[in-house]
């Protein structure tokens, strides 16, 4: 007499078969996600290469304007050499015009950020338009970018005196 599971359709798949099925599923997911990514980029009016960091003008760097804030949100302009300036470093691969402004919480202009001549960065020393120290508190920074890509980037910084 033959065992019950001989010729049965409901046999248990081997480890190799399970791995192959899982790999096919992963490939399908990756293909679908890639197609959605390309579709989204195209609908935004861009090309996919604009959304990657890569090789630009003979060096590795950003392919679009990007910023890095230092220190992260809080600075103390007290002259001790530690976080005395609020600094925004940026990658500007297309040489766009860049400016930075500081506003108080009510939206009033407090200061223009100083542009470094030697590095791609904007600096605020905690002083107002007339070079007087401003009071500690919450401030809004705004970076304006004009050129091949136009952007306005806003964020919050806390000045502690």
* Domain layout of the chain by residue ranges: 15-50, 62-159
User: Given a cut of 60, is residue 108 above it in pLDDT?
Assistant: yes
**More confident of the two residues 65 and 113:** 113
Intra-chain end-to-end CA distance of the chain, in Å: 91
**pTM of structure:** 0.61
| Domain spanning 62-159, CATH architecture | Sandwich (2.60)
Task: Tell me what the mean pLDDT of segment 65-78 comes to.
Answer: 88
């Amino acid at each position: 007499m033959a065992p019950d599971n001989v010729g049965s359709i409901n046999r248990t798949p081997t480890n190799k078969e399970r791995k192959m099925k899982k790999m096919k599923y992963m490939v399908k997911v990756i293909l679908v996600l890639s197609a959605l990514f390309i579709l989204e980029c195209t609908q935004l009016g861009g090309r996919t290469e604009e959304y990657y960091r890569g090789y630009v003008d003979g060096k590795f760097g950003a392919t679009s304007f990007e910023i890095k804030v230092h220190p992260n949100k809080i600075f103390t302009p007290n002259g001790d050499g530690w976080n005395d300036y609020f600094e925004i470093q940026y990658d500007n691969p297309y040489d766009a015009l860049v400016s930075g402004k500081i506003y108080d919480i009510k939206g009033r202009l407090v200061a223009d950020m100083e542009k470094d001549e030697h590095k791609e960065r904007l600096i605020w020393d905690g002083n107002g338009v007339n070079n007087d120290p401003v009071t500690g508190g919450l401030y809004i920074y705004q970076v304006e970018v004009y050129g091949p890509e136009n952007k306005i980037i806003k964020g919050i910084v806390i000045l502690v005196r």
